[in-house]
C-alpha cells in the first residue's frame, strides 16, 4: 500500500540553526500538509499546499517557516532559525484521488522528531 515517507526520523539541532524536514507524499496526490505535535499536546495544523503554492497557513507558520515542492516527489518544510519551542514531532500529510464526491482522506507520514537544544 502506498505511504507517505518522512526523513529524517529524528533531527537534533542547535538553536538558531536551519533545518529542512523532508517528505515524500504518495504518488499522484495533489494536496500536501504539515502538522506538528509538541510532546503531550494536540496535533496542530501548520500549512497546506496545493498547485505549488500555500493554500492556508496557521498563526504558527510565521516567517521562520517555509515550504517547497522542489521536484515532482519531495515536499519540504524549512525552519530558518530554530527555537527551543520548535521541538516537536512534525507530520507531513497528503491527499489524493477523491474516493467519493466531497470526501477524501489525509494520509500521514510517520513524522520527524525535531529536538532543538
Q: Name the site residues for other proteins (rule: CB under 8 A).
A: 4, 30-31, 33, 35, 37, 42-45, 48, 50, 55-56, 89, 91, 93, 95, 98, 102-111, 113
Strands 5-7 and 19-24: antiparallel
* Residue number, 87 or 111, with CB nearest to other proteins: 111
44 versus 69: smaller Cβ distance to other proteins = 44
Taking the complex as a whole, the smallest distance from the CB of residue 28 to other proteins amounts, in Å, to: 13
Identity of the residue, 75 or 107, whose beta carbon is nearer to other proteins in the bound complex:
107
Choice between 14 and 97, CB closer to other proteins: 97
**Least CB distance from residue 60 to other proteins, whole Å?**
12
Whether the CB-CB separation of 86 and 16 falls below 8 Å is answered with no
Question: What is the per-residue DSSP string for 16-60?
Answer: T--EEEEEEPPTT--EEEEEEE-TTS-EEEEEEEETTEEEEE-TT
Q: Three-state SS for 101?
A: coil
Amino acid at each position: 500500500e502506498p505511504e507517505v515517507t518522512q526523513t529524517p526520523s529524528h533531527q537534533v539541532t542547535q538553536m538558531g540553526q536551519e533545518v529542512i524536514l523532508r517528505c515524500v507524499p504518495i504518488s499522484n496526490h495533489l494536496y500536501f500538509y504539515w502538522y506538528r505535535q509538541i510532546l503531550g499536546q494536540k496535533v496542530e495544523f501548520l500549512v497546506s499546499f496545493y498547485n505549488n503554492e500555500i493554500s492556508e497557513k496557521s498563526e504558527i507558520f510565521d516567517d521562520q517557516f517555509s515550504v517547497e515542492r522542489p521536484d515532482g516527489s519531495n515536499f519540504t518544510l524549512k525552519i530558518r532559525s530554530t527555537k527551543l519551542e520548535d521541538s516537536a514531532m512534525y507530520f507531513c500529510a497528503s491527499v489524493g484521488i477523491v474516493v467519493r464526491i466531497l470526501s477524501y482522506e489525509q494520509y500521514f507520514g510517520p513524522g520527524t522528531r525535531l529536538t532543538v537544544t
